[in-house]
Chains A and B, each alone.
Chain A
Amino acid sequence: DTGVSQDPRHKITKRGQNVTFRCDPISEHNRLYWYRQTLGQGPEFLTYFQNEAQLEKSRLLSDRFSAERPKGSFSTLEIQRTEQGDSAMYLCASRPLGRVEDKNIQYFGAGTRLSVL
């Protein structure tokens, strides 16, 4: 169990550019979540995958945001035409499916910090 891995850890980009983040969940974790954390705030839910299916999206996820999880393994979050308001920490979390003792324990990665100049 190597934990949830996120790449890159930091990303600096210019307004209008596209960026893509990657999340590698814990092996055999079927469920994957993306959250966004702005300065001084708690994380806010963005989207949820169960295997490769994206089952829930927050209203925070505008048309410029897209997330995928091909083959139900790693996930990517892409932001097109970045804006300064997109500057935040993007956190990924995973959890296994079907374990009674799980009780919704989500394991978080260290996050990708995005700065849009």
Chain B
Amino acid sequence: AQSVTQLGSHVSVSEGALVLLRCNYSSSVPPYLFWYVQYPNQGLQLLLKYTSAATLVKGINGFEAEFKKSETSFHLTKPSAHMSDAAEYFCAVSDTTGFQKLVFGTGTRLLVSP
């Protein structure tokens, strides 16, 4: 069975500081990996995805993530936080074949202070 662990239910940064949200996954087969963002009372929006091509993946809004197989990690980073980045972030894993349900972590709430 696949699973995702997100370390830190809350992360606080100052505007302009580096953002680092941690995600470790468990999968018996090579997975697809995703980061989604959720703003209050809204659905999930895809930030970026790893699908077995380049290990450094660039997404929207200046976010990127690096797939490290040896560490089973897929951490999300952004060089400089903006107030509008404050939201809930979810890491997810899926199979590469079959019906490919997404298995999500418990989420990390990013707080950005002025």
Interface residues of A (CB under 8 A from B): 4, 31, 33, 35, 40-45, 48, 50, 55-56, 91, 93, 103-111, 113
Contact = CB atoms under 8 A, between A and B. Distances in A.
Interface string B26-56: 0000001010100001111110010100000
A4 B94 CA distance: 21
A91 B99 contact: no
Contacts of B36: 108
A46 to B, nearest CB: 9
Given A103-B51, A108-B43, A111-B43, A43 B104 contact: yes
A80 to B, nearest CB: 24
A108 B45 contact: yes
Interface of B: 4, 9, 32, 34, 36, 41-46, 49, 51, 90, 92, 94, 96, 99-107
A102 B99 CA distance: 13
Contacts of B49: 103-105
Contacts of B92: 42
B54 to A, nearest CB: 13
Contact of A42 (B46, B99, B106): B106
Of the listed residues A91, A93, A106, A111, the one surrounded by the most CB atoms of chain B closer than 10 A to its CB is A106
Nearest to B95: A104
